[in-house]
Chains A and B, each alone.
Chain A
Amino acid sequence: MTAALSILELGGLNVLLALSVYATFKVGQFSLAQVGFWSIGAYGTGILTSLYGLPLLPAVLLCGLGSAVIGLLLGYPCLRIRGIYLALATVAFSEVVRVFFHNFKFQVERDGKLVGPDASLGFRGIEVLTAWPQILCAVLILIFVFAWIERSRLGLSANAVREDETAAACAGVNVVAIKVGMFAFGAFIAGMGGGLYSTYVSFVNSDNFGFHLALLSIFYVSVGGTERFYGPVIGALLLTALPELLRITGDFRMIVYGVIVLALMLLFPRGVADELRLRVGSLFRRARPAARSGPNDY
């Protein structure tokens, strides 16, 4: 029972990561920077709560806002580059953040022992403040926000920007504001999620926030589907539960995991949720809806 609950909790945290990637995908940007924001949020919240005794909510919100500001600063110059170049630039950002925390030593004495990030040894002893209620709240609020965005003018403009920036600009959409705004929104979610993550697991290490996690965050979104907000949610839950269900396979667990991701991608190139939606939808409608693509210019 507790095992199932902890899978759900981890799944919820991964949903946050996936949704932050999805926010950038929504405007056709392929960003691997979310891991960088995630680790900023994780370390920042850890420091604010464990070293300065801030309650969880303001700490998480502060870190989310901080990440969003950095996201603005990063997103603005990144408007010039797109597709594969954007992916590489954002990898660069994440790696620089990782190396920064790898060398970051900031310790304060509390209750007779040193706490705080200890460079390559990681950040031990973060107060555990997060459990399923906090994660559930965050996930539900975000799902609500994304569902609202999907139906609002903002969502329509974002879709227009993703499909064709020039056409969207011609139709009066403020492309710069939408792209930078969604980038910063993604950063906000990642910063917040990172904060919940570090106060949930109580130990973070910069080595866990490397290129590997960036790949996983892309897995969640692309296995789930990039067109509707429930795609990343399903993808993240599916790919969190899978390794746990695969525990019986022992040492082969991660291999089987990789094979399953590969197979899902080959079977559902657009993601499980979107492909199923289209297939189920086509049972009721005669004609298959026209194909739409995800972020497609890299």
Chain B
Amino acid sequence: MIFFEYLINGLLFGATYSLVAIGFTLIFGVLNRLNIAHGATIMVAAFAGAYVSLRLGGKDSYYVLAMAFFIAVVSGALLGILVRAVAFAPLRNASPLAPFVTSAAVTVILEEVFVLISRRVPLFSPEFSQFPSPLENLVFFVGPVLIRGAYVVNFIIAVLLMVSLHWWITQTRMGRAIRSVEENPTMAWLLGINVRRVEVTVFAVASAIAGAVGCLIGVAMGTVGPFMGANLLLTGFVILVLAGLGSLRGAMVCGLIVGVIEMTIVGMVSASMKEAVLFIILFAVLIVRPQGLFSDPEAKRD
């Protein structure tokens, strides 16, 4: 029975992980570069949401919570555009190592800035700051299974985001442009697609999703901290590899799988083992099936 509880909560929480990986994979698909600053974007957006919630007394108002979510999404999008302008755009023709390093440097900068902010701004506290929300103590039972309200809300929002993203990618003009740039940037450019605009849009959307993730995780955990992004980034890596780089549908499914695995290990073994198990799985998948579990056979780029 206890495993059933891990399964349900893992599935519900895993949807947030799916979002992390989707944002990651969108940017990777278009630029063919990893955005190391993705985790830091999540963290900054979580702080933005927490600020709104702390300032306006979000402890018992769903209205404030919605506003915090909105602010987190917007700040994520803006930060994403900034990260692209600083770390990716100037290095278009450099070796792929360069944007890796610049986005990692941006991560270091953002983390340290928020270490300072959480120490200096009296609203926040060092190490971990509160993210008050009315969902904090909401739990209910389905039969004997305990389910946290925050997880349910997270799951619903995550699924809504994923569905609308899927619609956007497959049905709209912009989505088609994005997919064609993923396929072949030069060809897309020759056919009159504004690659720069596609890049900026993808960065904004992926980072807006990161912003949403920041708010969702902040609410689920009840706290935000300057280094919360690093762990999420690594979890995002795992999902990305399981799914196969650039596979949106795979990222959605694998996020749920990782959520369940994590909940089960934290519940049954210990919290510190969860990373080890996840990374052993990642390693095994890379050796046995390097293209990932969900990617198309021919989807290989280098």
Contacts and interface: CB of A to CB of B under 8 A. Distances in A.
B108 A218 contact: no
A229 B90 CA distance: 26
Contacts of A215: 36, 104, 107-108
Contact of B272 (A88, A102, A219, A269): A102
Given A211-B230, A218-B104, A259 B109 contact: yes
Interface stretch (B69-77, B202-210, B234-242, B249-257): B234-242
16 contacts: A83-B302, A91-B279, A92-B283, A96-B280, A100-B276, A211-B233, A215-B36, A215-B107, A218-B104, A222-B100, A255-B109, A259-B105, A266-B91, A266-B102, A270-B95, A297-B302
A269 B234 contact: no
B187 interface: no
Interface in B99-125: 100-102, 104-109, 112-113, 116, 119
A261 B109 CA distance: 10
Given A89-B283, A93-B279, A269-B94, 10 more contacts: A82-B302, A211-B234, A215-B36, A251-B119, A258-B109, A261-B101, A261-B108, A265-B91, A294-B97, A295-B97
A108 interface: no
A259 B86 CA distance: 11
Chain B interface residue bracket vs A: 35 or more
Interface of B: 34, 36, 86-87, 90-91, 94-98, 100-102, 104-109, 112-113, 116, 119, 230, 233-234, 237-238, 240-241, 245, 272-273, 275-276, 279-280, 282-283, 286-287, 290, 302
Contacts, number: 131
Interface in A79-101: 80-85, 87-89, 91-93, 95-96, 99-100
A151 interface: no
A243 to B, nearest CB: 11
Contacts of B273: 99, 103
B100 A218 contact: yes
Contacts of B109: 255, 258-259, 262
Contact of A266 (B90, B95, B112): B90
Interface in A112-139: 120
Given A103-B272, A212-B230, A266-B90, A222 B101 contact: yes
B283 A223 contact: no
Nearest to A261: B105
A276 to B, nearest CB: 16
